Structure 1
Amino acid sequence: MINILHHFHLRVSAFTFFCLLFLSPCQSFAPLYLSSAKSAELHKIEPFPPRNHDIFQLSAVSDDNSENISAFCKGTNNFWKKLVISPVRNYVEVRPAGTADKDIFSKLIAPPEVPGLPRPVWFTILGSVPTALGWYGYYKFSVEEELFQHELQTTGKVSGCGGYGTLFPFVYGIIVGFPLSLLHVPGGETIVNTAALWILLGQVNLYRRVNEIVQEGGGESPLHEWWALLPPPLDVVVGLRQVHFLSEYWRTMRGEPYIKDVVAEEWFPFISAPRFTLKEFARTPSMWFWFSKDWKDFHFDFLKD
């Protein structure tokens, strides 16, 4: 039987290694970002229209099922929210867009906003690596809660369990299950694996929801949801793409200026590339790294779609 927690640990390790590849460049890039933000030409962007009940559909499910799913997600979010102490709940209460200050540190510690805060790939790495992925947990909570509240405000129905319902079952599962597992108490490993499975399925659902909102904005679905189940580094590939496309969606909705994300658009072009297949990714080295942009495609029969 596959150990789900082991798979999750591999994903975290791969993400950490990938981030360390350009920690220093990201830190040096931050001042460049701030200076370019001042001089960037503002693009006139029309925010995407609010979603309505006519276009809000869960993939291949009836309206009755979407109501049931929404009720389950709301109940799950509310249940786990009650288990969080009041000071934390008050701090992470969702704010209106534009509440956070503009400097990098303020955005790193900012509570969730609706529409959500744009968090580019370089910004996410800058917060995740120095904190040993601790900040990434806050990122996960924030984007889930922002999508939850956005759906709630625009349609009245939700298709995810929000920050509380997605992250805290995993957190409490590890807190309870891991010591029991170390002590070889029956059920400990099951609790840990169940917690890891919950967060993994939540990630698949997050990719589905990002695809949905991008489509509603007139774009093509950028993500393959099932790639979340692949071993590293392929699951990290789709994870970084989710960060980029969700950030761009929120930026557009908020009418904020376009500022090039060098990490996603220059150093690792696959992050911002249009949707591609695994075989296409394998045979197209020009989308891998900045130094492989001029490499020619591989022409092997087994890499043809």
Structure 2
Amino acid sequence: MVKMLIIIVCIIVALFVIGSITFLFTFKRNRIESTDDQVKRNEELLSTNRKVWMRNTKRTVLIEKYNYFESFEDFPFNSDFNNTKEYLANNNFSFTTTNDVIKELTKTQSELLNFWLTEQRKLLKAFDQTGLTDNYENRNFLMKFYNESLNIYMKVIIQGFVPRIIIGKIDFLKGESLIDVDEMLNILEGWLSDGINQLIHELYRQTGIFQKQNKKFTSNNGQQYFHYQKTNQSKISDQFSDVNWAYQTLGVSDKSTSEEIKKQYRKLAMTYHPDKNKTPEAKEKMVEINRAYQFLKSINKVN
């Protein structure tokens, strides 16, 4: 009888220990992070994503007809056309003609980029309309749609801007054909608009599936975080905005003047330039500062 009681007690103790360990492990694995941790993770997610997208995207395009490469190093997929400038100079086009072509290419690229940003804002507004809470998991879900909007722009540059406008301008200079830049631009804008509209339809379709797959119990910490982000953060569309990213990277606002942006950029460059700052983070920081500054120049926020 005593042995039986001891065995029963041991079993109860063993079950209690196993249950406690299982509970602690599950709680630790599934617990929702503190508000500050989640906010930090959310902020890092988009920044890291842009860096990864830039690294994984081919940054040169072959101008096949004229056998040279043009670089597209500026975010999201823009060029300063230095290689085209060099090609024209090497083929005996005058300094004035070369500069006029580069100015027109830069202007057309800027118009296309601004049109894409207008279309992309429709997608980001749709992010808000899905009703998804701005948390890490939902941002990851929306990230693929944001990245696809970047891919749409890149494809239009490679498949449209390069063959129809860059090559078209060189053809015109060589007397091979006429080019109507406005007509070409309208065609490329149509491609962008169609691509973003299709992406928005797919977003709405997948949102219902995603919500059904991710119904989870929300702890008190989670409720506190959702209340925090609702009262202290802007809409999820603002978090994904590339224009906001550029302003935030430079530490300026949309109300800053061109001169104020230039001044702030020079200040940051003095702080993070690798010649002046030898820390491992300085080089990467300087790259992002340059990308943000060039982006604002590309959309005519800096003269």
Bin for the TM-score computed over the shorter chain: under 0.3
Normalising by structure 1, what TM-score?
Answer: 0.24
Higher helix fraction (1 or 2) = 2
Larger Rg: 2
Normalising by structure 2, what TM-score?
Answer: 0.24
